[in-house]
Amino acid sequence: MAATVSARDALRAAKRGAKFLDEQLGRGWRRKIRRRQLDLAEPCNCVLGQLYGDYSDGAYELGLVYSEEVRLGFDSEEEEYEALTAAWLEVLRGRA
């Protein structure tokens, strides 16, 4: 199956998500992410999972609804988690 979420779109979403987390939590959240374990397909190893223990807990604590979760790169309507994981890693490395 061909990817429906481009790498560019995933990167834009991850940048929005990182900016959102910077505004909500300060930049210190970035040090809490274990990059080697980062996997947006796994609720405990995704960005919100690593920050809050579980994806759902993080989304709830931040007051996010599903459309916002997708727009901010925390989730994907098309389950394009590899692209999102790669995008988040780029953002966390400070290259994007």
Domain boundaries, the chain: 7-92
Q: Which residues contact 92 (CB under 8 A, 6 or more apart)?
A: 18, 30, 33, 35, 38
Does residue 10 contact residue 87 with C-beta atoms inside 8 Å? yes
Residue-wise pLDDT tens digits, 36-67: 999 999 999 999 999 999 999 999 999 999 99
Residue-wise pLDDT tens digits, 14-26: 999 999 999 999 9
pLDDT value for 4 = 63
